[in-house]
Amino acid sequence: MNNTVVIVGGGSAGAVLASRLSENPGRQITLVEAGPAYRAAEFPQTVTNAQLLGAFTGADWGYQSAPGALDHPIALYRGKVLGGSSAVNGSVFIRPTTADIDRWRAAGAAAFTQGAFIEAFERIQVPVHTLERDELSKVQRSFTDAADRAGVPESKGFNSANPAGWGAYPMNVVDGVRVNTALAYLTDEVRSRPNLTVRGNTTVDAVVFEEGTTTATGIRLTDGEVIAADEVVLSAGTYGSAAILLRSGIGPARGLADLGIATVVDAPVGKHIQDHPFYYNAYAADAQKIGTQTPVIGAKVWAAGTMAAAGEFDIHITATHLIDQSLSPTGAAFVLAVALTRPASRGTITLASKDANVAPIIDLNLLGEQSDRDRLAEAIQLARRIGRTAPLSDLVVAEMMPGADATDTDITKSALHTLDTYHHPVSSAPIGPQGTEYAVVDTHGGVYGTTRLRVVDASILPDAPSVATNPSVISVAEIVAARVYGA
Ligand SMILES: Cc1cc2nc3c(=O)[nH]c(=O)nc-3n(C[C@H](O)[C@H](O)[C@H](O)COP(=O)(O)OP(=O)(O)OC[C@H]3O[C@@H](n4cnc5c(N)ncnc54)[C@H](O)[C@@H]3O)c2cc1C
Convert the pLDDT of each residue in 341-397 to its tens digit: 999 999 999 999 999 999 999 999 999 999 999 999 999 999 999 999 999 999 999
Residues in the chain: 487
pTM of the model: 0.98
399, 352 contact by CB (below 8 A): no
64, 74 contact by CB (below 8 A): yes
CB 31 near ligand 1, within 6 Å: no
Write the CB contacts of 145 (distance below 8 Å, at least 6 apart in sequence): 391, 392
Integer Cα distance of 204 and 224 in angstroms: 9
Convert the pLDDT of each residue in 228-274 to its tens digit: 999 999 999 999 999 999 999 999 999 999 999 999 999 999 999 99
pLDDT, residue 1, reads 53
Residue of 31, 469, 475 to test ligand 1 pocket, by largest number of atoms within 8 Å of CB: 469
pLDDT, residue 475, reads 98
Residue type present at position 44: P
Write the CB contacts of 51 (distance below 8 Å, at least 6 apart in sequence): 176, 294, 295, 296
In whole angstroms, how far apart are CA 194 and each of 13, 83, 226, 405? 21, 21, 21, 64
Half-sphere exposure of 144 toward its Cβ, with a 13 Å CA cutoff? 20
- Omega before 268 within 30 of 0, i.e. cis: no
Integer Cα distance of 81 and 202 in angstroms: 11
SS3 84: helix
CB 95 near ligand 1, within 6 Å: no
pLDDT, residue 2, reads 61
The pairing of beta strand 297-303 with beta strand 315-320:
antiparallel
DSSP character for 327?
A: G
Integer Cα distance of 383 and 281 in angstroms: 7
320, 181 contact by CB (below 8 A): no
Residue 176 main-chain phi, psi, to 5 deg:
80, -5
C-alpha 446 – ligand 1 centre gap (Å): 20
19 has which bridge partners?
none
Residue of 341, 424, 427, 474 to test ligand 1 pocket, by largest number of atoms within 8 Å of CB: 424
82, 201 contact by CB (below 8 A): no
Integer Cα distance of 439 and 460 in angstroms: 9
Residue type present at position 445: G
The count of other CB atoms within 10 Å of the CB of residue 410 is 13
Longest distance between any two alpha carbons in the chain, whole Å? 70
C-alpha 392 – ligand 1 centre gap (Å): 33
Integer Cα distance of 224 and 260 in angstroms: 18
Residue of 85, 238, 424, 467 to test ligand 1 pocket, by largest number of atoms within 8 Å of CB: 85
Q: Give the torsion sign (CA, 435, 438, 443, 447).
A: positive
The count of other CB atoms within 10 Å of the CB of residue 444 is 19
Write the CB contacts of 40 (distance below 8 Å, at least 6 apart in sequence): 182, 183, 187, 188
pLDDT-flagged residues of the chain (< 50):
none
